[in-house]
A and B are shown apart, each in its own frame.
Chain A
Amino acid sequence: MIEVDRAGRSFTVGRGSARRTVHAVRDLSFTVGAGEFVGYLGPNGAGKSTTIKMLTGVLAPTSGRLRVAGLDPTRRRTALARRIGVVFGQRTTLWWDLPLKDSFQLIRYLYKVDRIDFRRRLDELAGLLDLGSFMDTPVRQLSLGQRMRGDVTAALLHDPAVLVLDEPTIGLDVVSKAAMRDFLRRLNAERGTTVLLTTHDLGDIEKLCRRVMLIDHGRLGFDGTLDELRATGPDGDSLEEVVARLYTGSAPGTPAPP
């Protein structure tokens, strides 16, 4: 479903003598099969969002190749958009000034969703994510939890085969977080939707992901099951301790290499 082959993305930043190249992602390779639920972990600035932007065709890779749902994201961006759903936790993909239901209506048109399918799916999603009370509210007036539920609904109205989420639980309270997890788990189990999820919340990972990938400084540091991840540390270590050790590549507290 997702194939990444030695993909890299660098940015030149700064001007004049301060000019340098930042390698946000380097030499990244992995594949994700249909129906998998994969957690994508990494400290701030590790390259998670950059990876997601390459997978969705927002950013062109500077090296390597990617394929998502059988398409090259950069070349076939709009065709790919119909096959995947994307949620950015930090910003909404909805229309800020429009009532939620107008946003959904627009999405129905843009994604060319059949009217009957749309009604059925919207009713189902609205029920599961409890959207009823704020369907007429402009997006800018929604609380973060409400907005996030709206965003997830918007990403799924066209029934994509792949759902990519960049920190979907960031800033959510305990109840919203639990509801979101429950929803994603069911989506994956019942519909077979492939899910790739970045998060800082190890709770998300423990509750949802069979497979975990860990990225640091733009490189893939670990790719395996949750149990294999735990097994990299001594018995009795919490997942937090295990992950922290992997981030720095050695003992916790050691500064990251430049």
Chain B
Amino acid sequence: MVRTYLLLAWTWLRASAQYPVSLAMMVLGSFAVNALDVAAIWIIFQHTGSLGGFGLAEVMFLYGTADMSFALADTLFGNVDRLSHHIRSGSFDTMLIRPASAFVQMATDRFSVHRFGRLAQSAVVLGIALPRLGLPWERTWMVPLMIACGVVIFAAIFTLGGALQFLLTDAPEVANAFTYGGSALTQYPLSVYGEQLVRGVTFVVPLAFVNWQPALYVLDRPDPLGLPYWLRFAAPLAALLLALAAALAWRAGIRRYRSTGS
């Protein structure tokens, strides 16, 4: 599965290298768009000293980890949410007749370097934020773990969004609302949002585990909502459960797949 992924991605990458200029433009473009996000955070801090009780470096940390998770998930699996397009054009049929996972074929379709633009940008943000936080070593182990769990959570949401398109072939936007909405939501400290929303993204759509809960541990902060301390370590569990749900939904979707007339 991993080898199939790498081979397909590499083949697409090579094919896309035929247009180096347009690729460079796309990478720069996506880098620039996301840099605006960071500029927005910086401007907010020109006016206030803190956001939801968090300082600039801490907010950059929250932003950077969420964005890196999202960028990685998007790079690796984001294309899965283009399923309805493939169903309508009939190309999903052709993926199903090949002896390889349809999911991997979807994920790697048209793989190109422009997917790396956002990743580079989140690495820059984290590179600025981390030294300024002066984290103690005994807490830093959580950082790669939280990013990895974030990748799984976002990938699972992408997959759920794709699976939904087996039913709603004409409404891919519904799914996009979750993935891109989720990514936007996790860029700020959850304490700036209302309590109901925070509970929702903790216990229903587990976005709080992308960065918020583990970050409370890394930054050694009390939970503004007073939720139990062990939740800070629950990210792997949340990621696992969501990934399981996504895998089941995808399988059910393939079972119910109805192709298109002629």
Contacts and interface: CB of A to CB of B under 8 A. Distances in A.
B4 interface: yes
Interface in B227-262: 255-259, 261-262
Contacts, number: 75
A141 interface: no
B99 A82 contact: yes
Contacts of A59: 257-259
Interface in A24-68: 44-45, 49, 53, 56-60
A164 B8 CA distance: 25
B262 A81 contact: no
Contact of A81 (B12, B98, B258): B98
Interface stretch (A86-94, A119-127, A213-221, A235-243): A86-94
Most B Cβ at <10 Å: residue of A11, A58, A59, A109 = A58
B115 interface: no
Nearest to B255: A60
A81 B99 contact: yes
A109 B94 CA distance: 16
Contacts of B8: 106
A102 B255 CA distance: 31
A78 interface: yes
Nearest to B93: A58
A97 B257 contact: no
A210 interface: no
Contacts of A186: none
A82 B99 CA distance: 6
Interface string B73-115: 0000000000000000111011011111100000000100000
A90 B91 contact: no
What interface size band does chain B fall in? 20 to 34
A88 B93 contact: yes
B7 interface: yes
Interface in A108-152: 109-111, 138
A109 B7 contact: yes
Contacts of B100: 78, 110
B168 interface: no
Contacts of B256: 60
A98 interface: yes
Nearest to A166: B262
B97 A98 contact: no
B257 A98 contact: no
A74 B90 CA distance: 18
A110 B11 contact: no
Interface string B135-178: 00000000000000000000000000000000000000000000
Given A79-B99, A93-B97, A58 B11 contact: no
Nearest to B97: A86
B262 A58 contact: no
B15 interface: yes
Contact of B97 (A11, A45, A58, A106): A58
B91 A91 contact: yes
Most B Cβ at <10 Å: residue of A44, A79, A110 = A110
Contacts of B14: 102
A111 B259 CA distance: 23
A110 B97 contact: no
Interface of A: 11, 44-45, 49, 53, 56-60, 74, 77-79, 81-82, 86, 88, 90-93, 95-99, 102, 105-107, 109-111, 138
13 contacts: A58-B96, A59-B258, A60-B255, A60-B257, A79-B99, A81-B97, A82-B99, A88-B93, A93-B98, A98-B11, A102-B14, A110-B98, A111-B99
